[in-house]
Amino acid sequence: MNEKAMRSQRKWQTIIWVAIIIVFTYLASDITNFNIIHGIATLPNAITWIFSNLYITPETLERLPKILEKLAETILMSIAATTTATVFSLFLGLMGSKTTGTSSVLGVFARLVASVARNIPVVAWALILLLSFGQNSMTGYLALFVGSLGFLTRAFIETIDEASHSAVEALRATGSTYFQIVFKAVIPQCLPQMISWILFMIETNIRSATLVGILTGTGIGYSFDLYYKTLNYNAVALVTFAIVISVIIIELMSNRIRKVIL
Enumerate binding residues for other proteins (CB under 8 A).
Answer: 164, 166-167, 169-180, 183-185, 188-189, 191-192
CB of residue 195 vs other proteins: minimum separation in angstroms? Answer: 12
How far apart CA 99 and CA 93 sit, in angstroms, is 10
How far apart CA 143 and CA 85 sit, in angstroms, is 11
> In the complex with other proteins, which residue's Cβ is closer, 16 or 170?
170
CB of residue 149 vs other proteins: minimum separation in angstroms? Answer: 24
CB of residue 190 vs other proteins: minimum separation in angstroms? Answer: 10
Please name the amino acid found at residue 67.
I
> In the complex with other proteins, which residue's Cβ is closer, 33 or 174?
174
Full 3-state SS string of 110-158: HHHHHHHHHHCCHHHHHHHHHHHHCCCHHHHHHHHHHHHHHHHHHHHHH
- Residue positions counted in the chain: 262
CB of residue 93 vs other proteins: minimum separation in angstroms? Answer: 18
Q: Contact 100/166 with Cβ under 8 angstroms?
A: no
> In the complex with other proteins, which residue's Cβ is closer, 120 or 167?
167
CB-side neighbour CA atoms (13 Å) of 127:
5
> In the complex with other proteins, which residue's Cβ is closer, 181 or 243?
181
How far apart CA 259 and CA 262 sit, in angstroms, is 6
CB of residue 181 vs other proteins: minimum separation in angstroms? Answer: 8
For residue 261, give the H/E element and its range.
Answer: helix 233-261
